[in-house]
Structure 1
Amino acid sequence: MPVSALDRTRNRVVATRYGAVAIRNGTVAVAAVCAAVLVGCGSQTDDASSIIRTTTNIAGAGVVGLERDTTRACPLPSAPDQPSGTRSVTHAAGVSEVPADPQRIVVLTTSALDATCALGLWERVVGAVTVDGERPQPDFLGTGVLKIPSVGTAAAPDLAKIAELRPDVIIGEQPSSAATFDALKAIAPTVLVGATGGWQAEFSAFAAGLDRRGAATTALENYRAEAAGTGTVIAAHQSQASVVRFTGDAVQVQGSDSFAGQVLADAGVQRPTAQRGASFDVTPADFDTRAEGDIIYVVLAGASGKEQGEQVMRSDEWKYLSAASDRRVFAVEDSVWHGDGLTAARALLIDLQKTLNGYVTD
């Protein structure tokens, strides 16, 4: 179970040169964050791979991802399943005959853009929906995607703009606007995925529409190995991580059904007992029993979520949490931790490497 208020004095996290020593019920467990975890850390000095040292914080929470390296977010182009012709793809909206190895792609969701990035095909994207905020696309996808022409928002794709781009294939999720499957397939072969089955199944469905089933299988296998390896290096099983998302309207605990919950599970990170099921809203009165953890990741959804999060994290109910008093609360990117794709999952793993056994210093 996560640490409680009564256990604060005997469940502290003491920073060391090589990681963090969690003192639980009189037992010392060394969570050394270095590649040599199985043979000892040797003379490795304290750096960003062992203990995060933030220069910015929000209401006491260390901000993660400010210096994210996106130069390798999208790999080189993957090989198609077949070099020419067409293939039949069954998807959530029906069956489509899509071209092998499409050269001009339009994406209707961030998850679809993430998939093209993970498969090395983002430079073939001739049009993409944009997101709210200062940038038209999420930071974790890098700067190259900023050059992609807009085709409206995910809620209201512009059919005329899509048609002008003459795409070979259109990929996205089930639309809720005038951009129906029939309207889209009149422009180009369209593959729309459903919201069930988790992000890995969704990624595989996008890959099928891009003639990259084989590449997707390999990419997911590599991700799972990377997640397991990350968990071993950071001794993920020794910590229970809480994930709390502020939306401006509600405070949501992200359970095992959330994107963050799924990636944490892939890395072997433990969750507080209350968070091992579906996601749920929580009130300040229940923070100590439903939001507490050895470490808390806070997700700030937009400007309203940031405002709400700052207010809540300055409240007595929040400050009473042992993770808050131990300075083990980290503010993470909403587009990554509430994301929906392989590129976001890999970015989340990097955040874990830098924080799970660290503490906030400024």
Structure 2
Amino acid sequence: MGRRAARVRGAAIGIATAAVVVATTACAGQSETSAAGQPGEAPVRTVEHARGITQVPADPQRVVVLEPVHLDTAVALDVVPVGAAVLSEATGVPAYLGDKADGVEVVGTVPEPNVEEIASLQPDLIIGTETRHAALYERFAAIAPTVYMASQADPWQDNVRLVATALNKTERAESLLDDYRARCEQVATEHGTEGRTAQLIRPRDGILTLYGPSSFAGSTLECAGFTIPPRDWENSISIDLSPERAAEAQADLVVVTSLNPADPTTMPPALTNNVGSFPDLHLVDMSYWITGVGPLGGMTVLDDIDRILDATPS
């Protein structure tokens, strides 16, 4: 369950988790939602985040998100953003979200969100990431109240909580995370995963990227009872191996990401030609194993693990 998760932080960002600060009159027991400052003004809340403290709408209606975990979490909380930056404009909104994300407009990519398109949507809340979007914060803040999480490499469940705080849905988010952990325990119990190792491999650019226990997929494998084989993760969520070192990725369960997991030719030769080290490989969908960060993606990955283990002899 990510018990060895590293805490990777954005430079000079000391905020571990988001906290809600009561706006205006800070009397004990006051609700997270404050009254409007002037007659006719919408209620606001004050949210602490990686860039400081920002007043945000108590019930935001036009949200723009710039990170996969923002999109997944918002949709899981029944807040469909009007706009989202995506990892690939060609692919668009991840398919695993299904019709829950209908109507979300693509506003550039995660590393390069389109400020003009975002402004045209007239958002009332923008959620971004300090490590990716630091240079754009002032431009976004001039458009709408803007909340930044510190880093996409931080423990994903902490980032879910920050998004939920910004959306004023913290209790619902905790319920979703409880459901995720309960599903982990169910998979672990049904398949007896304790004591077994697992490794996720992502082939790209002629190398093999291995994901560690602090990554989204790695922490989900560990949540389901597996252990990621120990190694020096170099204070990162992943490390790269050359194909010649592929055997170092051995584990009891090895899953390999693919844009088309139904196509066996997408399995890299460095693995298929090494049957002695990898006798039982499984292709999985990159759209949620890598980019499906959040409560919905987590449950989808767990369903995949359950399916793979059902079809794999003990």
Q: TM-score range by the shorter chain?
A: 0.7 to 0.9
Determine which of 142, 165, 169 is the counterpart of 2:125: 169
Determine which of 273, 276, 281 is the counterpart of 1:329: 281
Determine which of 299, 306, 309 is the counterpart of 1:353: 306
Q: Deviations over 1:299-357 (max 9, x none)?
A: 23699xx9874332343xx2222x42xxx211111222223212111111001111135
Alignment partner, residue 128 of structure 1: 84
Question: Contact 2:193–2:225 (CA<8 Å) still a contact in 1?
Answer: yes
Secondary structure at 1:136's aligned position in 2? coil
Determine which of 225, 228, 249 is the counterpart of 1:268: 225
Alignment partner, residue 56 of structure 2: 98
Amino acid at match of 1:231: A
Amino acid at match of 1:353: D
Q: Deviations over 1:83-142 (max 9, x none)?
A: 9711111111221101111111111122211111121212xx111123326531112111
Amino acid at match of 2:290: H
Secondary structure at 1:286's aligned position in 2? helix
Question: Contact 2:201–2:209 (CA<8 Å) still a contact in 1?
Answer: yes
Deviates more, 1:293-302 or 1:261-270: 293-302
Amino acid at match of 2:289: W
Determine which of 310, 313, 331 is the counterpart of 2:271: 313
Cα–Cα, structure 1 residues 83 and 300, in superposed 2: closer, same or farther, change >3 Å? Answer: farther
Amino acid at match of 1:338: I
Alignment partner, residue 257 of structure 1: 214
Amino acid at match of 1:203: V
Determine which of 211, 222, 245 is the counterpart of 1:286: 245
Secondary structure at 1:206's aligned position in 2? helix
What is the alpha-carbon distance in structure 2 between the residues aligned to residue 271 and residue 176 of structure 1? 27
What is the alpha-carbon distance in structure 2 between the residues aligned to residue 176 and residue 270 of structure 1? 30
Secondary structure at 2:194's aligned position in 1? helix
Amino acid at match of 2:308: T
What is the alpha-carbon distance in structure 1 between the residues aligned to residue 111 and residue 217 of structure 2? 23
Cα–Cα, structure 1 residues 174 and 105, in superposed 2: closer, same or farther, change >3 Å? Answer: same
Determine which of 182, 197, 222 is the counterpart of 1:240: 197
What is the alpha-carbon distance in structure 2 between the residues aligned to residue 174 and residue 350 of structure 1? 32
Alpha-carbon distance, 1:146 to partner: 4.9
1:215 aligns to 2:172 (yes or no): yes
Question: Contact 2:60–2:125 (CA<8 Å) still a contact in 1?
Answer: yes
Question: Contact 1:108–1:157 (CA<8 Å) still a contact in 2?
Answer: yes
Alignment partner, residue 43 of structure 1: none
Alpha-carbon distance, 1:143 to partner: 3.6
Cα–Cα, structure 1 residues 106 and 284, in superposed 2: closer, same or farther, change >3 Å? Answer: closer
Alpha-carbon distance, 1:148 to partner: 1.7
* Matches for 1:2-151 after TM superposition, within 5 Å: 82=33, 85-122=43-80, 125-132=81-88, 134-151=90-107
Higher relative contact order (CA 8 A, sep 6+): 1
Amino acid at match of 1:242: Q
Identity between Structure 1 and Structure 2 (%): 29
Alpha-carbon distance, 1:291 to partner: 1.1
Question: Contact 2:260–2:266 (CA<8 Å) still a contact in 1?
Answer: no
1:231 aligns to 2:188 (yes or no): yes
Cα–Cα, structure 1 residues 284 and 247, in superposed 2: closer, same or farther, change >3 Å? Answer: closer
Question: Contact 2:206–2:243 (CA<8 Å) still a contact in 1?
Answer: no
Amino acid at match of 1:233: E
1:295 aligns to 2:242 (yes or no): no
Secondary structure at 2:122's aligned position in 1? coil
Question: Contact 1:157–1:179 (CA<8 Å) still a contact in 2?
Answer: no
1:204 aligns to 2:161 (yes or no): yes
Amino acid at match of 1:256: P
Please report the RMSD computed on the Cα atoms of aligned residues, expressed in angstroms: 2.9
Amino acid at match of 2:54: S
**Which segments of 5 or more consecutive residues in structure 2 lack a partner in the other structure?**
1-30, 36-42
Question: Contact 2:200–2:256 (CA<8 Å) still a contact in 1?
Answer: yes
What is the alpha-carbon distance in structure 2 between the residues aligned to residue 228 and residue 276 of structure 1? 26
Amino acid at match of 1:120: D
Question: Contact 1:92–1:193 (CA<8 Å) still a contact in 2?
Answer: yes
Q: Deviations over 1:227-265 (max 9, x none)?
A: 112211222215322221112242122121221111111
Amino acid at match of 1:282: L
